[in-house]
């Protein structure tokens, strides 16, 4: 019998708060985010309370074979269906999870949410995410030089975009 390959996205709920916070605070995820301090459950809960009622935000959990394996945040930033996305796979997720998460996110963004463009901003030293965006079909649209200061150093930010028509 072939292995089950069932994936889905579902809205993040308050029961996911601790799981998602554990992923977000993991050193291998945190180091690639704009804010790199350890987030408290209180701060995380306040963030969720605000964003989960904001219609411009889609906070989603990626599930594969019934297990929660990643988080996706799609944020409509401009009229006409233009959105930013952010995401991370669970640190202990099997190799290949990112690709499946990305495919599910793109299907959701274009086929379900009806977006026109999805944009990703990646810290230039995050080579996995740069390669990942290219592998998903994103176009590199620019580099914002020294756009992020981490308290010690400036980092370039690589901008990616994918159109529904791509
Ligand atoms: C980015 C992330 C989702 C990729 O997840 P993953 O499960 O490792 O991804 P996959 O195994 O499905 O790999 C998909 C593609 O990503 C890229 N990639 C993943 N890991 C990589 C690595 N260590 N080095 C280079 N490219 C890598 C490759 O293009 C890969 O395709 P390939 O295997 O055909 O070369 C995951 O590493 C993650 O959550 N990182 C931390 C959070 C983060 O950086 N989020 C994005 C902020 S912009």
Q: Is residue 87 part of a domain?
A: yes
Of 24, 91, 132, 157, which is best to mutate to test ligand 1, by the most ligand atoms within 8 angstroms of its C-beta? 132
Mean predicted confidence (pLDDT) in 49-73: 97
Q: Is residue 3 part of a domain?
A: no
pTM above 0.75, yes or no: yes
- Residue 5 · residue 53 · CB < 8 Å: no
The reply to whether ligand 1 has any atom less than 6 angstroms from the CB of 139 is no
Question: Which residue minimizes the CA distance to atom 25 of ligand 1?
Answer: 128
Question: What is the length of the chain?
Answer: 166
Q: How many helices (H) and strands (E) does the chain have?
A: 5, 7
Question: Cβ neighbours of residue 108 under 8 Å, at least 6 residues apart?
Answer: 9, 58, 60, 72, 74
How much is the pLDDT for 13? 98
Q: Is the pLDDT of residue 2 over 70?
A: no
Domain ranges, residue 105? 8-163
Q: Is the pLDDT of residue 1 over 70?
A: no
Tens digit of each residue's pLDDT (9 = 90 or more) over 70-119: 999 999 999 999 999 999 999 999 999 999 999 999 999 999 999 999 99
CATH number of the domain to which 118 belongs: 3.40.630.30
- Helix (H) / strand (E) element for 133: namely helix 127-135
Q: Is residue 1 part of a domain?
A: no
Tens digit of each residue's pLDDT (9 = 90 or more) over 11-56: 999 999 999 999 999 999 999 999 889 999 999 999 999 999 999 9
Q: Is residue 2 part of a domain?
A: no
| Cβ burial 65-92 (10 Å sphere, 16+ → b, else e) | eeebbbbbbbebeeeeeebebebbbbee
Give the count of domains, the chain. Answer: 1
């Amino acid at each position: 019998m072939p292995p089950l390959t069932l994936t889905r996205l579902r809205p993040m709920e308050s029961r996911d708060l601790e799981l998602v916070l554990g992923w977000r605070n993991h050193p291998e995820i945190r180091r690639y985010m704009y804010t790199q301090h350890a987030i408290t459950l209180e701060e995380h809960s306040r963030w969720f309370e605000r964003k989960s009622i904001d219609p411009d935000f889609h906070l989603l959990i990626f599930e594969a074979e019934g297990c929660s394996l990643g988080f996706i945040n799609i944020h409509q930033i401009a009229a006409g269906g233009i959105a930013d996305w952010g995401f991370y796979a669970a640190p202990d997720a099997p190799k290949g999870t990112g690709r499946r998460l990305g495919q599910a996110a793109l299907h959701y963004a274009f086929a379900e949410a009806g977006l026109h463009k999805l944009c990703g901003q990646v810290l230039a030293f995050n080579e996995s995410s740069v390669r990942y965006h290219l592998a998903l079909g994103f176009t590199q649209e620019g580099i914002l030089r020294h756009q992020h200061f981490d308290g010690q150093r400036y980092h370039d930010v690589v901008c990616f975009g994918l159109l529904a028509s791509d």
